[in-house]
Chains A and B, each alone.
Chain A
Amino acid sequence: MKITALLLLRTAGDYSSSSGPSDPVVLANASDVSHFGYFQRMAAKEFILFVARTVAKRTPPGQRQSVQHEEYKVHSYNRNGLCALAFMDDHYPVRSAFSLLNKVLDEYQKTFGDSWRVQQTDSNQPWPFLTEAFTKFQDPAEADKLLKIQRDLDETKILLHKTIDNVLARGEKLDSLVEKSSDLSAASQMFYKQARKTNQCCTLL
């Protein structure tokens, strides 16, 4: 369950004068290519950029899309010309991926306002939020609150099952205790009667 890259691009949608085959502009990029070999890292980075541009170009505004590419899934969400992409493996739940993209988009708009609309070249400055989001959201439960809640609820359910088993065992023990205590009270009653009998009965030797 790994995120390989998170990117933010500006798609040339309705906002540029020459809307058409112009490539999207990279606004922010966070990628982890450490699992490739040392000599393949540059190529992998270029590759990621290329795929990202292509997918972003083909995602219409206001739409979400998931493309399978080799062993990665690319999820993209285009919102008013600002497109967020995520490269992840197959195990990452799709819904969490899209909620993560939502978060990234919101944060970007909050931080940078609308200044991204005028950018024409790829920006290479790292955006700290993106990099820390990248590391934080390797675990999909962080990104998707629903998933977290579901997970908590499942754990609670397991705990409750165990609790109920314990309570049943307690019930059995209480049952045996009841029996023993009733035996004890019967025996003590016999004891009392016997003691009274020896005391007050005929004054034998």
Chain B
Amino acid sequence: MNPRPGQTSYRDRTQEFLKAVENFKKSFASIPDATSSIAAPKFEGPKSAASIQSEFSRRASQIGLGIHQTSQKLAKLAKLAKKTSVFDDPTVQIQELTAVIKQDITALNSAVVDLQLLCNSQNESGNMSRDTTNHSTTVVDNLKTRLMSATKEFKEVLTMRTENLKVHENRRQLFSSSASKEATNPFLRQRPLVSRGSNDSASPPAPWENDSTASAPLFPRRKLNGDPSSSTQPLIQQQQQQQQMVPAQDSYMQSRAEALQNVESTIHELSNIFTQLATMVSQQGELAIRIDENMDDTLTNVEGAQGALLKYLNSISSNRWLMIKIFFVLMVFLMIFLFFVA
């Protein structure tokens, strides 16, 4: 009767329930009239219970269907996130899909909460059999666990995507030189090909112009640092010493944001490490308990053996048995002696 894992189908037992109601009705009809007034609202009870139950199963099947669809979308998103390469980045699609999935998950979450409230109110109204309440609670729990696993998968897909982007970022930095630091924030990168081409082919005096044009479309919203290139040109012409192009395209805010993201990811890794540590220590705790039990067994055995040996020592060192044994040996010798001599 419980839904098979991974599928969204529910068996709707409304018909069976209605048949059971008919049976009850017949049995109630045989009771004398004094209770018929009770029977009438009770009769109403099972009928509305049936409708509530069908309402419950309808909602549950809707939610299950929603979860299934969301997990399909999630599989699509995972495929998209995996196949991103350095050049072909379906960022827009991925972001749309992410937003849609997020909305779905929140809607499903609220629907599951509603369902659980309905289930609780049904249980409290008291005119349900034990099996029905069990069924409804089991169904709600199952939906909740499925929703949770879908959410977890979603999070994993998002982390995988950020990791992929970071890998691309590192590769890009390997290939292009210092001026390409503008692309450090991957979620806002618009035209990676343009920046690579312009940086690799530019000669040192020229990059002032190149970078100002490349940076302007890349950072329409950045903190006005496209200007430094032009404002420091007369300054450089005045100086006679050797100049070097400053990576002034790094905006201050961007580097701060990147540092914050680094801190956040480090903290996540730390939390992972801590959970692993806790798991390992708890596993080893169990080992310690086993060792303790073994030692207790050993102790008991050794004590028992010691007692047995003590008794043995006593029995050997006591004189009574010895005398009896010596007496028997003497008797035997006497017998033999008597038989052979006499």
Contact = CB atoms under 8 A, between A and B. Distances in A.
Contacts of B247: 66
B284 A167 contact: yes
Q: Is the interface of A mostly helix, strand, loop or mixed?
A: helix
How extensive is the interface on chain A, given as a class? 35 or more
A68 B255 contact: no
B284 A146 contact: no
Contact of B301 (A63, A146, A178, A192): A192
B301 A185 contact: yes
A184 B246 contact: no
A168 B250 CA distance: 43
A199 B232 CA distance: 104
B252 to A, nearest CB: 5
Interface residues of B, number: 59
A69 interface: yes
Contacts of B297: 185, 188-189
A147 B225 CA distance: 23
B282 to A, nearest CB: 11
A159 to B, nearest CB: 10
B312 interface: yes
A189 B284 contact: no
Interface in B224-275: 224-225, 227-228, 231-232, 234-235, 238-239, 241-248, 250, 252, 255-256, 259-260, 262-263, 266-267, 269-270, 273-274
B291 interface: yes
Nearest to B297: A185
Contacts of B311: 199
Interface in A164-183: 164, 167-168, 170-171, 174-175, 177-178, 181-182
Contacts, number: 149
Contact of A153 (B242, B270, B321): B270
A164 B280 CA distance: 9
Interface stretch (B15-23, B135-143, B302-310): B302-310
B243 A68 contact: yes
B100 interface: no
A86 B277 CA distance: 45
A185 B290 CA distance: 12
Contacts of A161: 273
Interface in A11-37: none
Contact of B235 (A58, A157, A163): A58
The interface centre, meaning the residue of B223, B228, B260 with most chain A CB atoms within 10 A of its CB, is B228
Given A181-B291, A181-B294, 5 more contacts: A66-B246, A149-B263, A177-B291, A196-B304, A199-B312
8 contacts: A67-B232, A70-B241, A150-B259, A153-B267, A157-B270, A171-B284, A195-B309, A196-B308
Considering the complex of A and B, which 9 residue pairs feature the smallest CB-CB distances, nearest first? Answer: A181-B294, A188-B301, A195-B308, A192-B305, A195-B305, A185-B297, A68-B246, A185-B298, A174-B287
